[in-house]
Amino acid sequence: MAKRGKAIGMISGGLDSTLALAMVKAQGVEVKAITFYTGFCITETQRRKGGRSDGTMPQNEALRAAAEQETDIEFVDISGEKYLEMILNPRYGYGANANPCVDCRIFMMKKARDIMEAQGADFVFTGEVLGQRPKSQRRDTLQVVERESGLAGRLVRPLSARLLAPSIPEQEGLLDRSKLGAISGRGRLPQIAMAREIGLTEYPQPAGGCCFLTDESFSRKFFHILGQKEAAGEPRAIEQDEIVLLTTGRHFALGKTVKLIVGRNEVENGTLQTYAGGHARLLATQVTGPVGLVVGTPTWEERRLAAAIIARYGKGREVGQVEIEWRDPDGAVELLGVAPLADEVQLEAMRI
C-alpha cells in the first residue's frame, strides 16, 4: 500500500490535465490544483471583456474540472512585469508564432514549485503528453523544463510517466508506476478511451490551444507593436493594457509609428472605449459605426486616413461623406468630414 502523499496539480481544464488529476487522485494522493492566468489566455480574456461577440460567456474550464472532481483549486495570476519580460526575451526562443513555450513552462513550474514548498506538498504534476507538442513536449524539452524549474525528480506527467524516468514520488511509494500512463504523440484516442473508462463525459474539445501567443494573427500584431516602438525610439516593452488592445478589433498600420484599431462588435467597441485613455478616439456622429483608437502620434494625412477607415466600416459606407468625431487624449474634439475609404487594395495593404 502506497503512502498517502500531497501534490500540486497544474490544471487547464482540458482533457489531458483532467485525466492527470483523476489518475493522481485515484492513487489516494491529496491534490491542491492550481490554474495560471498569464494575460494571454483566450477564454479568460473573453470573460474579462464581458463575453464573446455572440453574447455568450465562456466558462473557466479549470474551475469546472476541479469542481467536478471535488478538488480545491487556486487561480494564480502571473501576468505581471516578470512574466512580460520573459515573453519579450525568451531564453529558448519562440515557437511558430510569438509563443515562448519552453520558457513559459519553466516560469510556470517555478511558481508551482514555490506553491509546492509553501503547501508542504511532495510533487507537482501536469497533463503534458510526451511528443504531443513539437516544441515544449519533446523528451529533451521536458527534461529542460524539469531541470530549470528546480523540480528535478518531482515533476510528474501521469499520462506519459511509464515512458519517462521514474520520479521521486514513484521511488518513495507515493505513486504506483504501474497505474500511470504510457501515452505519447499527438493522437487523442487513448485519452478518449481513458475518459470513457472513468465515466468522464464533459470536457472541451481541443482547438489548437487557448493562448493568444500561438495565434498567427495575434503574433503579427504583437511583433508589429514592438517594431512600432522601435521605430518611434521607445523601449522594447509591452504593457498589460496594450495586450488587451492586441486582442481587440482590426488593426491597420497608418505609418511606421501609427496604427488604428477598429472595433468589430459591441463587445470590442466597449473594450476600446474602456482603454481609450492615452489614445485618440474616433466615432461616427450621425450613423452607427465602430469605435476606433489611434495608437501613436499621427500626421494630418494619417488622421484623415483613420477617419476614412472608420467611415468605411460604419453604416455610412455607401454615402459620399461621413462626419467623424476625433477626440484627442486631452479631450479636445474635432469633427472631420471624410469619404469612406473605398480602396480595398489599400485597406488590405495596411492590415496587420
DSSP state of 297: -
Evaluate if residue 134 carries a pLDDT over 80.
no
Q: What confidence score (pLDDT) does residue 165 get? A: 96
- CATH 3.40.50.620 domain locations along the chain: 6-212
Q: Residue 169 and residue 73: Cα distance in Å, rounded? A: 21
Q: What confidence score (pLDDT) does residue 207 get? A: 52
Q: What confidence score (pLDDT) does residue 260 get? A: 98
Evaluate if residue 74 carries a pLDDT over 60.
yes
CA-based angle 322:272:248, to the nearest 5? 105
Evaluate if residue 1 carries a pLDDT over 60.
no
What are the pLDDT digits (tens) for 194-243? Answer: 999 988 877 776 654 589 999 999 999 999 999 999 999 999 999 989 99
**C-alpha 27: how far from its chain's center?**
32
55 vs 193: which has the higher pLDDT: 193
Q: Residue 277 and residue 265: Cα distance in Å, rounded? A: 20
Evaluate if residue 316 carries a pLDDT over 90.
no
What are the pLDDT digits (tens) for 148-191? Answer: 999 999 999 999 999 999 999 999 999 999 999 999 998 889 99
66 closest CA partner among 34, 114, 29, 107: 34
Which residues are within 8 A (CB) of 338 and not within 5 positions of it... i.e. 6 or more apart?
304, 307, 308, 311, 321, 322, 324
Among 1.10.240.10, 3.40.50.620, 3.40.630.10, 3.40.1260.10, what is the CATH number of 6-212? 3.40.50.620
pLDDT exceeding 70 applies to what percent of the chain?
98
Which three cell numbers mark 160? 506519459
Mean pLDDT estimate for the chain: 93
Cβ-contact 149, 143 below 8 angstroms: no
User: pLDDT confidence of 59, banded at 50, 70, 90?
Assistant: confident
7 vs 135: which has the higher pLDDT: 7
Q: What confidence score (pLDDT) does residue 2 get? A: 47
Q: What confidence score (pLDDT) does residue 206 get? A: 60
Evaluate if residue 121 carries a pLDDT over 60.
yes
